[in-house]
Chain A
């Protein structure tokens, strides 16, 4: 699971209003290099919840993202590289995503989050 995906995921248990962002507990993660695409990064930036991204990156030991970011920073190569690295090159293999409101854990195995709810959660 890349942090781009993490930035989209939210707890969908019935009645939960504060299900985003899910807290990332990573037991195993890997780095996989992929080519940087500045246009893509600039295009996706407006959708990204920056604090969630920075928090998830920190959970993986990557502290290079600023606490806050705005679009003007996208002109700087260095920022783009860090943004790119956090968003697309960090893959969580094993761990869990934890709902901030209920504490419910959604497991991540072999890089795949399982977001299915139990019967009583729908």
Chain B
């Protein structure tokens, strides 16, 4: 029996109280992770639950980052998102630009560690991207947000490219090739409005871990180009042409929930509710039934935030130990969150010098059979129609092209 301790410090949102039947409490994932912003100075509420009869599950409405808040109704299903919209406008923009832990660890650090090797493998130009770049008027300013090793910078010799990426190591590689680049965050471009003639985001948005951040990145691209400017976005598709690829990816299970919450932040974490299954290695499957994964997937992708000084958030994964079913990948239609391995050969790892610290910090593992360090990169792969749905709320751009190309969903927007 868990005794509920509900401690809510100062907070600036309404609190939504939901009453639940005590028997349902056990199944709820009441994970609310709020970012503490020292400048604002509020503390993070703690949510736990209790088995007493009239206990409530308290969810703070309208916190940052998360688009869908996990307010749980009495059936244990997440509430709809409509009630969130007003707060989202007001306050969620506060944190949408703050990088979640999972991206810091499994996107930023990984790319910095693998940069030279990654760059060496990025040379083939996708025909559709090439076509887009070549179609632009000579003299166009092209903004490449998330340019990586600069594969597309300078592709159209009649245009002027300005690239940015979050990885300083990748940007170094671009700069050495003479490109005009900077270190910047695609979710918050340091550009004034309307300067570019076109913008591209090639295989970038799938590294953003919340819907709000993905939408914000698209809004930034649109903001940065002028009226009539074109924006090309490509992302990895859930619907891969080579279905066997998915077996090499690790679907994110509860183990990785901890990555969304800073491991350093939880003196009060209720360990009895945090019993996580030991997850098998990437080659094996770890899946839940589609329904549960849907629920948790919504929870974890939308609600994660690092909480620095926060007391804690009790995280209860719905029926994790008992109900963690092993289903085949094909049945797990809802799964969109993955770790995708990157194998960095030992000799390359030594050159980059990152291996020792990566191993020590758990960022990478050794695969002696393959003679490589294995890093995991975080991906939110897109399903059909998801890009369209992301832009549907954006009123100053229209879709002028959309297609599937080599396991990527692609879209071209025009700024109005």
Contacts and interface: CB of A to CB of B under 8 A. Distances in A.
Contacts of B139: 37, 39-40, 43-44
A31 B162 CA distance: 19
Contacts of B195: 7-8, 47
Interface residues of A, number: 30
B29 interface: no
A117 B185 contact: yes
Given A44-B141, A120-B37, A115 B97 contact: no
A71 interface: no
A63 interface: no
Interface of B: 37-39, 94-95, 97-98, 137-139, 141, 160, 162, 164, 166, 168, 171-172, 175, 180-185, 188-192, 194-196, 226
Given A115-B184, A122-B95, A10 B191 contact: yes
Nearest to A113: B182
Given A110-B172, A120-B38, A14 B94 contact: yes
A92 B188 CA distance: 23
Most interface-central of A14, A20, A47, A116 (chain B CB within 10 A) = A116
A1 interface: yes
B6 to A, nearest CB: 28
Interface of chain B: mostly helix, strand, loop or mixed: mixed
A112 B171 contact: yes
A87 to B, nearest CB: 10
Nearest to A119: B98
Contacts of A106: 190
Contacts of A102: none
Interface in A26-48: 37, 39-40, 43-44, 47
Given A39-B139, A44-B141, A8 B183 contact: no
Contacts, number: 83
B185 A116 contact: yes
A28 B168 CA distance: 20
A111 interface: yes
A116 B188 CA distance: 9
Nearest to B191: A8
A111 B195 CA distance: 21
B240 to A, nearest CB: 32
Interface string A75-108: 0000000000000000000000000000000100
A114 B137 CA distance: 29
What are the 5 A-B residue pairs with the smallest beta carbon separation, nearest first?
Answer: A43-B139, A122-B97, A115-B190, A115-B184, A10-B192
A11 interface: yes
A4 interface: yes
23 contacts: A4-B180, A5-B162, A9-B182, A9-B190, A11-B190, A12-B188, A20-B192, A44-B139, A44-B160, A47-B195, A47-B226, A112-B168, A112-B181, A112-B183, A114-B168, A114-B183, A115-B164, A116-B183, A116-B185, A117-B97, A117-B188, A120-B37, A122-B97
Name which of A1, A20, A37, A115 has the most chain B CB atoms within 10 A of its CB.
Answer: A115
Given A43-B139, A112-B171, A8 B162 contact: yes
B193 to A, nearest CB: 9
A39 B139 CA distance: 7
A7 B191 CA distance: 9
B188 A122 contact: yes
B166 A116 contact: yes
Given A8-B196, A115-B164, 7 more contacts: A4-B180, A8-B195, A47-B195, A112-B172, A112-B183, A114-B183, A116-B183
Nearest to A112: B175
